[in-house]
Amino acid sequence: MANRDPTTPQRSRWKLALVAILVLLIAAFVYFLPVVKGYTGVGSSYAAHVTCSCRYIGGRSLSDCEKDFEKGMELVSVSDDPARKRIDATFPLFGHEAAEFREGYGCIVLTQKEREAG
């Protein structure tokens, strides 16, 4: 008579449980993706506008302007284009927004068409 390994059913249950957890995590990620994209877009817009105002209206340096960010915005990176008086803010993999200083209007968050045009 052959001996069966008594741990085989336990291993199968663990594998099944891990696969089920993985499937649930993937489903949750897909379900909440639009919400995450929305929050990262708003965060990027906020960062671009605040940094543009700080930089071109307040006259402060880019590194000094990053102090004005709210908690939780550590992943948002900003870059400066002094020739166009434009600030680009990026949240990795999800959001990219830009704000530009316009005389008489202040800092304006650009639309997607305006960002792509120049």
Tens digit of each residue's pLDDT (9 = 90 or more) over 30-39: 999 999 899 9
Burial class from Cβ neighbours inside 10 Å (0-12, 13-18, 19+) for residue 69 reads middle
Q: What pLDDT score was predicted for residue 6? A: 57
pTM strictly above 0.85: no
Q: What pLDDT score was predicted for residue 25? A: 96
Q: What pLDDT score was predicted for residue 5? A: 58
What is the spatial order of strands in the sheet that 106-109 belongs to?
77-81, 86-91, 95-102, 106-109
Task: List pLDDT tens digits, range 46-56.
Answer: 999 999 999 99
Q: What pLDDT score was predicted for residue 4? A: 61
Residues of the chain where predicted confidence (pLDDT) is lower than 70: 1-9, 118
